[in-house]
């Protein structure tokens, strides 16, 4: 990718990673593992800090709701977005994910503060 040189700057101090992909493109499914490896495993972030969004374009739902991803991607939270049919579902799922990131950040800050005190 032309932007690989920017990746370290994007990753610095990040607390979460959202990967949005088109489940109907085989190339996207292949690239998923590379994105996960670079942005989650090498950081390292917890799997709970990563959210996968399978985005369906209008009129292309097909059978991708039964999307089965290989390990270790199958352990990640995966949501299907179809903004025409169900934008509210996506919003609720994203908020849940966002809250989990905030609580991870709070826990790590508390740990840091305790380690400074002790």
CATH code of the domain in which 58 resides: 3.40.50
**For 14, which DSSP code?**
-
Res 65: pLDDT: 61
Question: For residues 109 and 105, what is the distance between their CA atoms, to the nearest angstrom?
Answer: 6
| Domain coverage including residue 69 | 4-117
Tens of pLDDT along 62-91? Answer: 555 678 898 899 999 999 988 777 788 889
Question: Considering its fold, how many domains does the chain have in total?
Answer: 1
- Render pLDDT for 7-26 as a digit per residue (tens, 0 to 9): 888 888 899 999 999 998 88
What pLDDT score does 95 carry? 95
What pLDDT, on the 0 to 100 scale, is given for residue 7? 83
| Cα–Cα distance measured from residue 61 to residue 94, given in angstroms and rounded to the nearest whole number | 20
pLDDT at 97: 96
Determine the pLDDT at residue 50.
96
């Amino acid at each position: 990718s032309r932007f690989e040189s920017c990746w370290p700057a994007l990753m610095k101090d990040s607390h979460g990673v959202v990967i949005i992909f088109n489940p109907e493109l085989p190339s996207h499914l292949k690239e998923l593992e590379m994105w996960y490896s670079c942005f989650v495993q090498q950081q390292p972030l917890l799997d709970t800090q990563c959210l996968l969004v399978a985005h369906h374009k209008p009129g292309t739902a097909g059978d991708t709701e039964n999307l089965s991803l290989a390990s270790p991607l199958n352990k990640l939270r995966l949501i299907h977005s179809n903004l025409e049919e169900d934008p509210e579902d996506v919003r609720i799922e994203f908020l849940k994910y966002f809250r989990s990131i905030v609580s991870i950040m709070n826990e790590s800050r508390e740990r840091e503060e305790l380690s400074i005190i002790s």
